[in-house]
A and B are shown apart, each in its own frame.
Chain A
Amino acid sequence: MPTTVLIVDDHPSFRASARRMLEADGYAVVGEAEDGAAALSAVRELRPDLVLLDVQLPDFDGFEVAARLEAAGECPAIVLTSSREISDLGSAVADSPARGFVTKGELSSERLAALTG
């Protein structure tokens, strides 16, 4: 049974590339969401194992999405991603319930697997 993934990012080109990469490595991408609100309802609906969550979203940011998912008792593994470096984000990543963070430029299935164990 492959790991199911929800990709949350407002850039379609990133979503497409990430989907292709993850699917090539055996992940099942079950959905995409382009903002925080869509992400929350997609998680409720799709129950993915993993959420690849962009930090910057048009409505509220990825940290907020992670916090709300935790508050709602939803517990997919969350990996935050951003084109920024983790150092640009301060302690927000450490403070969030996410499993980890990967810079978009270094995103790979191996990194994801390492973070989600």
Chain B
Amino acid sequence: MTSLRRALIGLALLAFGVGLASLALIVTSDHVSPRGLAASLTLVAGWGFAGTGLFAWYRRPGNRTGPLMTAIGFTWFFRGLEASNSDLLFTLGALGLTVPYAILVHLLVAFPSGRLETRTQRALAGIAYFVTIPMQAAWVLFADPAAEGCEGCPDNAFAVGPGSVGEAISAVQALIAIPLIAATVVVVYRRWRRSSASERRALGPVLVTGAVAFLFLLVQLIVGQAGVSDDAELVAFVAGLAAFACLPIAFLVGLLRSRIGRDEEIRSALTAENAQLTAELRATVEELRASRARIVAAGYAERRRVERDLHDGAQQRLVALAMNLRLARKKLDSDPAATAELLDEGLEELAAASSELRELARGIHPAVLSDRGLEAAIAGLAERSPVPVEVLGTPKGRLPESVESASYFVIAEALTNVARYARAEQATVRVAQANGSVEIEVSDDGVGGADPEAGSGLRGLADRVAALEGRLEVNSVAGEGTVVRARIPCG
């Protein structure tokens, strides 16, 4: 159980106890009437506010509405103290009697966050607290319950001066409270007007009920000040209390409706998120499509290159060989010396054709790789490289064929680039197996400044590596050599 939850349960029990105590004081009161109505309104409002407030506090600890409502609930029970027949309790009750109204002003003008954000909100709440706490305290120092028409009320336990001063203070309180309440109702109305339809669903019940409660309080104060009709004042008072007691219910209704509203918000948020995901997915699909197209194109380009190499290389040599042989045959009898020369040239062409075919076949797929694995194939690459190559660590066992093949071609392409462009003294090949991946690094001490996007060779390799869920990166700062790194998962 969280400490907040423990504290809130404690407060709930306290509110229950305070409510029962208030009930006891009200039903035994000599000066409250009608006692039944007062008791039920006090309990409904007090428990209602405290319960709803604690619930809201628990659900949204960051929102101040919960604590404010809880405070209204607790301060509401000053009404119970005020019902007491004891002078001290009665006077203490009178002292706190109006505080819940100030908290309600605070709650309504700052609804639903509970935070006083604008100057108007702060001013209204400030005035409300001023009227209901220090002014109320000042009034208590002079109030004379009997003189104010309370039959059977206990005496003021804190009275220090004449009741007339108390009456004057009370009148000033009412004169401040009337415009204050009117202003609060206006602020609440404006807040309601500004709200969107979904906000109105959530805020409407509290704002409307709060405004109604305050309108009755306003009527009660005005009628009271004008002194026209005690009955009217009482009716307004009871109606205001009833509206006040309904506020927690209104709050719950708003909460319920806002939850429904929030479902819609969640739905629209989900829709937005969905759209975002769809867009990301589409981008990924685009990227995959592009890389697939590049792989296919690279395949065709590779076949074209092989055809070209065959045509320009071995085939030309064989054609020349055939012509030489034909000529040699023709000259066999007439010019044996020329024939021997032609045959020698033919042998040279044949050797060159054979070597070119071997080279080409290795480019298509190096036999040593499938026969003896990556280590031997890398050793072969290093041996054939015109730039001295140091090989540091190669995987001992065999890897999946596609991984060995991609690793081999990454190293072969990188070393070809080193030989062609890097003007390097030395290259280093490092192959390590770690975390289920092969990590390949080919570095050189050459001129650097290679653009990985520019060459189709590395780009094609990057696609090939990506097709195995791997990554290829090229770091090539001018003057600092080039490092090609690839990481390929071993399946």
Binding site for B on A (CB under 8 A): 11, 13-14, 16-18, 20-21, 24, 56, 83-84, 104-105, 107-108
- 5 further interface pairs, Cβ-Cβ under 8 Å (given A17-B320, A17-B323, A24-B327): A11-B316, A14-B323, A17-B319, A20-B324, A20-B327
B331 within 8 A of A: yes
Tell me the minimal C-beta distance from B338 to chain A in angstroms: 9
Known: A13-B349, A56-B311. A21 touches B316 (CB 8 A): no
A14, B315: Cα distance in complex, Å = 10
A11, B323: Cα distance in complex, Å = 14
A5, B323: Cα distance in complex, Å = 17
Tell me the minimal C-beta distance from A35 to chain B in angstroms: 14
Q: Are A83 and B323 in contact (CB under 8 A)?
A: no
Known: A11-B312, A13-B349. A83 touches B327 (CB 8 A): no
**Using Cβ atoms and an 8 Å threshold, which residues of chain B touch A108?**
326
- What is the total number of residues of chain B having a CB less than 8 Å from a CB of chain A? 17
Per a CB cutoff under 8 Å, which of B320, B327, B330, B342 touches A14? B320
B4 within 8 A of A: no
Per a CB cutoff under 8 Å, which of B311, B318, B320 touches A16? B320
**Using Cβ atoms and an 8 Å threshold, which residues of chain A touch B326?**
21, 108
B322 within 8 A of A: yes
**Using Cβ atoms and an 8 Å threshold, which residues of chain A touch B349?**
13
B317 within 8 A of A: yes
Known: A20-B327, A24-B330, A105-B322. A13 touches B311 (CB 8 A): no
Q: Are B316 and A13 in contact (CB under 8 A)?
A: yes
Q: Are A17 and B324 in contact (CB under 8 A)?
A: yes
* Shortest beta-carbon contacts, A-B, top 6: A17-B323, A104-B319, A17-B320, A13-B320, A11-B316, A83-B315
A56, B349: Cα distance in complex, Å = 21
**Using Cβ atoms and an 8 Å threshold, which residues of chain B touch A13?**
316-317, 320, 349
A16, B342: Cα distance in complex, Å = 12
Tell me the minimal C-beta distance from A68 to chain B in angstroms: 24
Per a CB cutoff under 8 Å, which of B312, B315, B323, B342 touches A18? B323
Q: Which of A17, A21, A56, A104 has the most CB of B within 10 A?
A: A17
Per a CB cutoff under 8 Å, which of B311, B317, B318, B323 touches A21? B323
A107, B325: Cα distance in complex, Å = 12
Q: Are A24 and B331 in contact (CB under 8 A)?
A: yes
Tell me the minimal C-beta distance from A7 to chain B in angstroms: 12
**Using Cβ atoms and an 8 Å threshold, which residues of chain B touch A16?**
320
Q: Are B316 and A83 in contact (CB under 8 A)?
A: yes
Q: Which of B298-331 contact A (CB under 8 A)?
A: 311-312, 315-320, 322-324, 326-327, 330-331
**CB pairs A–B below 8 angstroms (5 shown):** A20-B323, A24-B330, A24-B331, A104-B319, A107-B319
**Using Cβ atoms and an 8 Å threshold, which residues of chain A touch B311?**
56, 83-84
**Using Cβ atoms and an 8 Å threshold, which residues of chain B touch A83?**
311, 315-316, 319
Q: Are A21 and B319 in contact (CB under 8 A)?
A: no
Q: Which of B318-371 contact A (CB under 8 A)?
A: 318-320, 322-324, 326-327, 330-331, 342, 349
Q: Which of B85-143 contact A (CB under 8 A)?
A: none
Q: Are A14 and B322 in contact (CB under 8 A)?
A: no
| Nearest residue, chain B, Cβ from A11 | B316
**Using Cβ atoms and an 8 Å threshold, which residues of chain B touch A18?**
323
| Nearest residue, chain B, Cβ from A10 | B312
Q: Which of B323, B326, B331, B349 has the most CB of A within 10 A?
A: B323
A16, B324: Cα distance in complex, Å = 10
**Using Cβ atoms and an 8 Å threshold, which residues of chain B touch A84?**
311
Tell me the minimal C-beta distance from B386 to chain A in angstroms: 24
Q: Which of A21, A83, A107 has the most CB of B within 10 A?
A: A83
A20, B323: Cα distance in complex, Å = 9
A83, B321: Cα distance in complex, Å = 13
A6, B93: Cα distance in complex, Å = 125
| Nearest residue, chain B, Cβ from A83 | B315
A36, B208: Cα distance in complex, Å = 93
Known: A56-B311, A83-B311. A14 touches B331 (CB 8 A): no
A24, B332: Cα distance in complex, Å = 13
A13, B315: Cα distance in complex, Å = 11
Per a CB cutoff under 8 Å, which of A14, A20, A56 touches B319? A14
Interface string of B379-410 (1 = CB under 8 A from A): 00000000000000000000000000000000
Per a CB cutoff under 8 Å, which of B312, B323, B331, B342 touches A107? B323
Tell me the minimal C-beta distance from B303 to chain A in angstroms: 15
A16, B327: Cα distance in complex, Å = 12
**Using Cβ atoms and an 8 Å threshold, which residues of chain B touch A56?**
311
Tell me the minimal C-beta distance from B318 to chain A in angstroms: 8
Q: Are A21 and B327 in contact (CB under 8 A)?
A: yes
A14, B319: Cα distance in complex, Å = 7
| Nearest residue, chain A, Cβ from B316 | A11
